[in-house]
C-alpha cells in the first residue's frame, strides 16, 4: 500500500504529504536540482511554472544501461538518474543522491518516461522512497509501469494543493482511470491486485459496449477478451478488458527480473502454462564485452545471462540463446520473421515490441512486473487505447525510406502530442508501395512517438511475405487472417493523409528523436562514425539500401571517407544470409565497412559503433538518440540511405543517385 494514502473516519481515502519529507523538482536549470539534492534548497510548486521543468526525461536518463545490469530494484535505486548529465559531462545525481535525499514526490514536465520500456526507471524512484510522480504528461509504457508498482501520478495543480497542506482525495489522482486500474493503485501495485483477484476479493467486469465500427486495435482486443465469444464482442477506447495474450518474449536485459519476481510471488517451483507461446532471446548484451566502458560490468552481465538460462530451463519457453557466441538475432526482428502473425496480441519486455505491428498484429512493450503476471496467467489487463490513422498516398523518392516518414511524423504529430498513448494505424494505397521491412520501421518507431503502438493494414504483399516464412500456412491463410478497420471507425487522433512523394531526407537532431531537420537545411556537419543496424535498420531492405549506396560509390572510385568508420550489423541470421547471397558482404568489405554479426549493440551502447569521446559525431540508422545512449558524442538519426551516403562524403548528406559520379568529376 502506498504510505501516502490514508483513510479518514468517514471512509474517505486521501493523499497527504508526510511531514518532514521532501519534493524534488527536476528543473531545466540543473544547478537547482543539485542544490535540492545537497539539501541547501527546497522548492514549492508556486515558485515555478511547468515550463521551468525538464521535458522528455527518458528512461535512459533515469536508469542507463549499466544500471540495468543489476536486477534487484534496491540495487538499481542506488544510481537513480545516473544518466542525467550536465554541460561539463558530470552526473547531476551521484550514487545514493536520490535515495538519501528524503524525497517522496518527484516533479517534471511533459512526456515523462519516454524511450525504453525499462521498468527499472520507476523502480529506481520507488525504492528511493518516491511514491508520487508529478508531470504534465507521461509516456504510455512508463505510465503503466508506475501503475503496476503502485505509484500515484498527478499534475502540477494537485501537487500545489498537497504542498499547501491539503488532504487531496485519492479519487482525484485516479479519476481518469477505469475501476480495475484504480484497484491496482489502491492495492499497492499489480502483484497485490493479482492476489486479490485470484482470491475473488475483486473482479474485473468485461465491457458492455454495444455494436459499433471499430479500428484494427479495437477489433483485435475484442477478439481476445477472456471468456467472451470473439465474434460477438465490441470495445471502445477507455474500456478495461481482460485480454488473452497470444505470445511474447523477454531478453537477457529483462528476464532476470521476470524470473526473480515470479519466484517471489509464486514460489521457487513456479510454472508457465503455455511455454510454447513465449520465448527468451540473447541479443542485447552479446557484444557488450567489446565496449571498454562496459568492461567493469561483465560479471553482472553474466549473472543476467545465467538467470535467463535458469528461467528458460524452469519454464521451457522457446529458446533463442546465442550459440558459440552467435545470436539468432534481435528479438523484434526474429519474432516478426518467425512467429508474429496477423491479428495476434503480443506482449514483450521491450518498447520496440510494436515492430510486430508491421505484420498486422497488435503488439507493445510492458515492464517486467506486467510480463511476469501475463506469462504466468496467459492474460493481462488492457485499457483500450485511442487510435490515430495515417493514410499514406504516393510513393517515396529514391532518396527516402520509411525512416524519413517516421522522422517527419515525429517532428510534427509527436511534438504536438497527437500520437501520445494512441495506436498509430497505417493504411492507404501508399502503404502498398512500401516493403514489409519498411512497414516494420514505421511501427517499430511508434514508441519514439510516445504512442502505445503502431499497426499496418495487410495486403497481398504482406500475405506473400509471411507465407514465405511459415511452413504451415499459405498466402490465402494470411489474407483471411488480416484485420482491417470497419468503415466509420472513430479515430480520436484524427485521420491524416501523408503524401510520401513530399517527404524529404531528414535527420533527428542530437538528444531526442522527436526533433527533426531536413538534411538540405542542416548545413555542414562532419562525422566520425556511421552506424547501420539495430531492430529498426538491420533488416533485409536496410541492407539493400546500404549496399545500393556503397556499390554506387565503389563504381565511382569512392569508398568511405578517410576520417569515417562505418559499421553494419545484421538484425538476424536470416538477414545475414540475405546479405551473403546478394553479394553485399563483398561490397561492404571493399568499401571498408566493419561488419558485425546479428544482435543489438551500439543502439544501447553495448557494441561496436558507439562513440568514445564527446567530440565525436555519429550518424546512425537506429531508433533513438538520447544523450549518452550510444556513447558520449553527438548522434544524429537518419535513414539507411543517408547513413551510407554520409559515410562516403564524410559529412551528413542525403543520397541522390549519381551523386558520387558527379563528385568524382567535379
Q: Please give the pLDDT value at position 472.
A: 85
DSSP SS3 for 262: helix
Question: Which numeric CATH code is attached to 216-383?
Answer: 3.30.499.10
Q: How many CA atoms lie within 13 A of 613 on its CB side?
A: 4
Q: Strands, E, within 218-277: which ranges?
A: 240-244, 247-251
- End-to-end Cα spacing for the chain: 71
Q: Is the pTM of this model over 0.85?
A: yes
Scanning 410-511, the segments in alpha helix (DSSP H) are 436-444, 460-468, 475-481
Q: Which fold has domain 510-665?
A: Aconitase; domain 3 (3.30.499)
- What does the radius of gyration of the chain's CA atoms come to, in whole angstroms? 24
Same topology, domains 387-502 and 510-665? Answer is: no
CATH class of the 387-502 domain in this structure: alpha beta
Cα Dmax for the chain: 86
Q: What is the pLDDT of residues 225-281, one digit of tens each?
A: 998 876 779 999 999 999 999 999 999 999 999 999 999 999 999 999 999 999 999
Q: What is the pLDDT of residues 274-311, one digit of tens each?
A: 999 999 999 999 988 878 888 889 999 999 999 999 99
Give, as one character, the DSSP assignment of residue 412: I
Read off the pLDDT of each residue in 147-163 and give the average, rounded to a whole number.
96
* Residue 502 pLDDT greater than 90, yes or no: yes
Sign of the dihedral through C-alpha 252, 254, 259, 260: positive
* Residue 664 pLDDT greater than 70, yes or no: no
Name the grid cell of 239. Answer: 474500456
Q: Please give the pLDDT value at position 2.
A: 85
Helix (H) or strand (E) holding 364: strand 362-365
Separation between Cα atoms, residue 434 and residue 413, nearest integer Å? 21
Separation between Cα atoms, residue 588 and residue 591, nearest integer Å? 5
Lowest-confidence pick of 119-128, 295-304, 430-439: 295-304
Q: Which fold has domain 5-198?
A: Aconitase; domain 4 (3.20.19)
For residue 399, give the nearest of 564, 520, 534 by alpha carbon.
520
Query: Which single residue is written with the C-alpha cell 524452469?
Result: 314
Query: Which single residue is written with the C-alpha cell 517515396?
Result: 396
Contact 507, 522 (CB under 8 A): yes
Confidence label for 663 from pLDDT (cuts 50, 70 and 90):
low
Cα 590 → chain centroid: 35
Confidence label for 23 from pLDDT (cuts 50, 70 and 90):
very high
Query: Which single residue is written with the C-alpha cell 508531470?
Result: 135
Query: Nearest 5°: CA angle at 264, between 259 and 267?
Result: 90
**What is the dihedral angle through the alpha carbons of 449, 455, 459, 460, rounded to the nearest 10 degrees?**
90
* Residue 396 pLDDT greater than 60, yes or no: yes
Q: Please give the pLDDT value at position 309.
A: 97
Q: What is the pLDDT of residues 567-595, one digit of tens each?
A: 999 999 999 999 999 999 999 999 999 99
Residue-range domain boundaries for the chain: 5-198, 216-383, 387-502, 510-665
DSSP SS3 for 226: coil
Q: What percent of the chain has pLDDT over 70?
A: 99
Separation between Cα atoms, residue 664 and residue 646, nearest integer Å? 15
**Given strand 453-456, what is the order of strands in its sheet?**
453-456, 423-427, 387-393, 495-499
Q: Please give the pLDDT value at position 432.
A: 98
Cα 44 → chain centroid: 33
Q: Please give the pLDDT value at position 662.
A: 62
DSSP codes of every residue in 324-360? TTB-SB-HHHHHHHHT--TT-EEEESSGGGGGGGGGT
Q: Strands, E, within 462-523: which ranges?
A: 495-499, 506-508, 516-518
Count CB atoms within 10 A of the CB of residue 164.
12
Contact 475, 460 (CB under 8 A): yes
* Residue 204 pLDDT greater than 70, yes or no: yes
Q: What is the pLDDT of residues 129-151, one digit of tens each?
A: 999 999 999 999 999 999 999 99
Amino acid at each position: 500500500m502506498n504510505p501516502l494514502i490514508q483513510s479518514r473516519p468517514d471512509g474517505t481515502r486521501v493523499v497527504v504529504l508526510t511531514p518532514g519529507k521532501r519534493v524534488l523538482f527536476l528543473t531545466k536549470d540543473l544547478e537547482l536540482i543539485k542544490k535540492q539534492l545537497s539539501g541547501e534548497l527546497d522548492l514549492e510548486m508556486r515558485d515555478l511554472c511547468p515550463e521551468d521543468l525538464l521535458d522528455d526525461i527518458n528512461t535512459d536518463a533515469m536508469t542507463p544501461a549499466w544500471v540495468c545490469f543489476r536486477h534487484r530494484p534496491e540495487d538499481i535505486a542506488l544510481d537513480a538518474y545516473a544518466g542525467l548529465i550536465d554541460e561539463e559531462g558530470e552526473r547531476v545525481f551521484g550514487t545514493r543522491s536520490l535515495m538519501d535525499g528524503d524525497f517522496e514526490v518527484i516533479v517534471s514536465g511533459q512526456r515523462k518516461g519516454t524511450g525504453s520500456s525499462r521498468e527499472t526507471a520507476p523502480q529506481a524512484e520507488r525504492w528511493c522512497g518516491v511514491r508520487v510522480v508529478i508531470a504534465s504528461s507521461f509516456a504510455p509504457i512508463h505510465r503503466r509501469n508506475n501503475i503496476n508498482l503502485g505509484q500515484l501520478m498527478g499534475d502540477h495543480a494537485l501537487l500545489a494543493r498537497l504542498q499547501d497542506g491539503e488532504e487531496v482525495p485519492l479519487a482525484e489522482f485516479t479519476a481518469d482511470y477505469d475501476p480495475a486500474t484504480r484497484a491496482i493503485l489502491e492495492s499497492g501495485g499489480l502483484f497485490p491486485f493479482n492476489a486479490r483477484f485470484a482470491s475473488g476479493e475483486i473482479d474485473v467486469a468485461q465491457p458492455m459496449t454495444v455494436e459499433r465500427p471499430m479500428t484494427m486495435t479495437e477489433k483485435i482486443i475484442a477478439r481476445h477478451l477472456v471468456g467472451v465469444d470473439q465474434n460477438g464482442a465490441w470495445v471502445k477506447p477507455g474500456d478495461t478488458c481482460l485480454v488473452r495474450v497470444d505470445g511474447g518474449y523477454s531478453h537477457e536485459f529483462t528476464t532476470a527480473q521476470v524470473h526473480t519476481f515470479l519466484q517471489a510471488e509464486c514460489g521457487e517451483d513456479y510454472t508457465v502454462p503455455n511455454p510454447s507461446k513465449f520465448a527468451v532471446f540473447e541479443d542485447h548484451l552479446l557484444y557488450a564485452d567489446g565496449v571498454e566502458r562496459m568492461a567493469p560490468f561483465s560479471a553482472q552481465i553474466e549473472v543476467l545471462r545465467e538467470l535467463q538460462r535458469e528461467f528458460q530451463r524452469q519454464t521451457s519457453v522457446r529458446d533463442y540463446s546465442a550459440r558459440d557466441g552467435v545470436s539468432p538475432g534481435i528479438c523484434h526482428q526474429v519474432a516478426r520473421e518467425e512467429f508474429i502473425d496477423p491479428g495476434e496480441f503480443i506482449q514483450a519486455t521491450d518498447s520496440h515490441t510494436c515492430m510486430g505491428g508491421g505484420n498486422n498484429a497488435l503488439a507493445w512493450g510492458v515492464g517486467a512486473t506486467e510480463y511476469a503476471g501475463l506469462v504466468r496467467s496467459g492474460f493481462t489487463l488492457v485499457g483500450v487505447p485511442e487510435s490515430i490513422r495515417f493514410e499514406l498516398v504516393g510513393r517515396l523518392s529514391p532518396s527516402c525510406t520509411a525512416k524519413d516518414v517516421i522522422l517527419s511524423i515525429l517532428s510534427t504529430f509527436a511534438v504536438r502530442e497527437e500520437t501520445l498513448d494512441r495506436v498509430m494505424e497505417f493504411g492507404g494505397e501508399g502503404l502498398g508501395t512500401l516493403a514489409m521491412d519498411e512497414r516494420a520501421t514505421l511501427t517499430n518507431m511508434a514508441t519514439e512517438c510516445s504512442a502505445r503502438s503502431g499497426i499496418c493494414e495487410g495486403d497481398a504483399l504482406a500475405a506473400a511475405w509471411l507465407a514465405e516464412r511459415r511452413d504451415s500456412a499459405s498466402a490465402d491463410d494470411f489474407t483471411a487472417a488480416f484485420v482491417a478497420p470497419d468503415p466509420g471507425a472513430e479515430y480520436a487522433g484524427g485521420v491524416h493523409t501523408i503524401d510520401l512523394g513530399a517527404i524529404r531526407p531528414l535527420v533527428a537532431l542530437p538528444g531526442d528523436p522527436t526533433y527533426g531537420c531536413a538534411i538540405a537545411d542542416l548545413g555542414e556537419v562532419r562525422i566520425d562514425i556511421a552506424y547501420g543496424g539495430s531492430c529498426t535498420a538491420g533488416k533485409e531492405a536496410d541492407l539493400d539500401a546500404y549496399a545500393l549506396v556503397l556499390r554506387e560509390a565503389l563504381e565511382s572510385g569512392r569508398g568511405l571517407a578517410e576520417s569515417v568508420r562505418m559499421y553494419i550489423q545484421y538484425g538476424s541470421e536470416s538477414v545475414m544470409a540475405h546479405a551473403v547471397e546478394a553479394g553485399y558482404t563483398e561490397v561492404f568489405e571493399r568499401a571498408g565497412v566493419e561488419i558485425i554479426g546479428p544482435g543489438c549493440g551500439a543502439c544501447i551502447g553495448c557494441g561496436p559503433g558507439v562513440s568514445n569521446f564527446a567530440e565525436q559525431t555519429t550518424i546512425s540508422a537506429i531508433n533513438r538518440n538520447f544523450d549518452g545512449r550510444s556513447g558520449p558524442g553527438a548522434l544524429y538519426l537518419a535513414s539507411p540511405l543517408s547513413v551510407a551516403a554520409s559515410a562516403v562524403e564524410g559529412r551528413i548528406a542525403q543520397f541522390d543517385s549519381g551523386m558520387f559520379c558527379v563528385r568524382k568529376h567535379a
